[in-house]
Amino acid sequence: MPRGQVTTPRLTAILNSIGVEISKRRVVRLLTTGLDPLIEEDNAVLDAGLVSAPFITVNDTGARHNRHNAFTTQIGGERFSTFRTSLSKSRRNFLSVLQASHQDYVLNDEAMNWLKAQGVEHAVMARLKTDPPAVFTDQVAFLEHLRAYFQL
């Protein structure tokens, strides 16, 4: 029996050959519906891994998917591993993967220290500095805050 890379038609043929009468459409439905609990568990694994691992490793690989170039990013540690596939290999996409299920943006001392290390101008940092730290629920709220401060 072949290992890995089992296409839907091949899986359907295998099931039919052992006496399970099933259509390709039904196999696809079984594989693609009711995934919310699995997605939630996968996000929880990534969250817990990022918080608890003393280090993480990252790797990505490209492959064609539905006639488009796609990229799968693996993030793991000693005791966890997760995979995310998207059509982008950008830094922004990678950072969104690292956010896991968290969508909030925070302007605090840690963020200011990072900006300073990146060489951001002091005038820009002074305009971003908030007391107490500012928490934005998602990227839209954060970008609206930046637009208001910098009249973008």
pLDDT score of 138 more than 50: yes
Quick check: 130 and 119 in contact, CB under 8 A? no
- Give per-residue pLDDT as tens, 10-29: 999 999 999 999 999 999 99
Residues 42, 97 within the same domain: yes
Residues 24, 75 within the same domain: no
- Give per-residue pLDDT as tens, 120-136: 999 888 888 888 999 99
- Give per-residue pLDDT as tens, 80-114: 999 988 898 888 888 888 877 778 889 999 999 98
Residues 41, 84 within the same domain: yes
- Residue 86 amino acid letter: S
Residues 25, 62 within the same domain: no
Closest by alpha carbon to 89, among 117, 114, 70?
A: 70
Residues 77, 45 within the same domain: yes
Residues 48, 76 within the same domain: yes
Residues 47, 89 within the same domain: yes
Query: Structural domain of residue 135, as residue ranges?
Result: 105-150
Residues 45, 82 within the same domain: yes
Residues 72, 39 within the same domain: yes
Q: What is the CATH number of the domain that holds 91?
A: 3.30.160
Residues 17, 65 within the same domain: no
Q: What total number of domains does the chain contain?
A: 3
Read off the pTM: 0.59
CB atoms within 10 A of CB 51: 8
